[in-house]
Amino acid sequence: MNCRTLFLILIALDLAYDVILRILAASRRGLPLPEAVRDLYDADDYARWLDYSAEKRRLGLIEKVFDALILTALFATNVFAAVRDRLPGGEGAKDMLLILLFVTFTSVLSLPFDWIREMRIEAKYGFSRTSKGIFVRDEITGFLVNAGLTCLLCLFLSKVWERFGARGFFVLFAGLSVFVVVFSMLSTFFMRLYNKFTPLEEGTLRETLTELFSRAGYRLENIYVMDASRRTTKVNAFCSGLGKFKKIVLYDNLVNGYSEDEIAAVFAHELGHYKRRDTMKNTFYTVLLMAVVTAAAAWFALNPGISAEYGFSAMNPAFGVILLESVVLNPIITVLTIPRAAMARRYEYRADGEAVESGYGEALVSALKKLSRDNFSDLNPHPLIVRLEYDHPTTADRIVAIRRRDAERERDA
């Protein structure tokens, strides 16, 4: 089997996997909700959720099929080499221009889907508050970040290959690992490209959250509120960063729409992640993923026949980056997501336990129900989809586990 056929098979398998998951999701339509969450949606809300999920699933399927057809057309031909030959400048300039053209091409093709998803579907169901101006700015920012990072990866790959040959992939792995760690440390810095972060104002809520942190033996530098309401009505909170760069961030929708006990319960959950260093563990897992990325890059570079098969006279790093990002990494990430998601679900249960031990078990149940309702969550996903992709347990499973642990805590008290 030649490489061209292999890549086309990978594109087809990726599409088939996605279609199967969407069929499984659709098969749950109309099934009764689990007892623990049956009170979240009334008949009208549940019918509305079914329509919302069906519209998102339909758009996602159309986009996935469209992307697969485009990738098939591109990787069934020598179009990349043909375009590069016609670009101006030296070898390095041609590579950068090829990358920029590909990123621009894919960004333009995805733009209508992004618009329909954000400005039509999310807005139709009352979730999106994104204005046209914010949407355009976000798309431009995302394009610039994507293009910049992809060009840097291409440049880095070509330089280490030119300087070190096969040994350069150790350097590539080290460089990618450093990037992952730095990105994790400064993730909120990058998020500031899209959102504004302000310290939580003084008051009883801040005192309660600070006391929770102090009781756990930590000194709290700050709690940040993110202006998510400019874009969405959905609610979230998260722990980001590493070491002294670690921050706990609350959506302003959470701060403004939930009781202090519910916010404290969510905060205690995030504190559980903080105490167990779950962010660091996730970062380490991403570093392992970078090892797989490096191995794929080495396989491409050490087999110049792949580039030759697509019309290049020598191994071309720009084509390699495009190939890895758009075709090869998808099945790799799909496979690696399964154990990573299982690990993340365990972390969520454990973080929920931290809220229970802090005395916020029922408050967390109340917050989870509100979060599920406000985010229009799938309350009855297919169990196989949960095992393959969910990095959080279902709301029903979390509520059952919280109440069981709360009962055990009261019994032992």
Confidence of residue 239 (pLDDT cuts 50, 70, 90): low
Question: How large is the average pLDDT for residues 51-70?
Answer: 93
- E strands of 241-284, at which residues? 247-251
In the prediction, which pLDDT does 197 show?
85
pLDDT at 14 over 90: yes
Name the burial class of residue 213, with classes exposed (0-12), middle (13-18) and buried (19+) by CB atoms within 10 angstroms of its CB.
Answer: buried
pLDDT at 248 over 90: no
C-alpha span between 336 and 332 (Å, rounded): 6
C-alpha span between 152 and 381 (Å, rounded): 39
Q: Which amino acid is at 133?
A: G
C-alpha span between 98 and 279 (Å, rounded): 35
pTM of the model: 0.83
In the prediction, which pLDDT does 1 show?
66
In the prediction, which pLDDT does 309 show?
93
> Dihedral sign, CA of 324, 325, 330, 334?
positive
Confidence of residue 243 (pLDDT cuts 50, 70, 90): low
Chain centroid offset of residue 36 CA: 27
In the prediction, which pLDDT does 7 show?
94
C-alpha span between 407 and 388 (Å, rounded): 30
Confidence of residue 81 (pLDDT cuts 50, 70, 90): very high
| Angle at alpha carbon of residue 282, lines to 279 and 287, rounded to 5° | 125
pLDDT at 188 over 70: no
Each residue of 7-31: b (16+ CB within 10 Å) or e? bbebbeebbeebeebbeebeebeee
Per-residue pLDDT tens digits for 345-371: 999 999 999 889 888 999 999 999 998
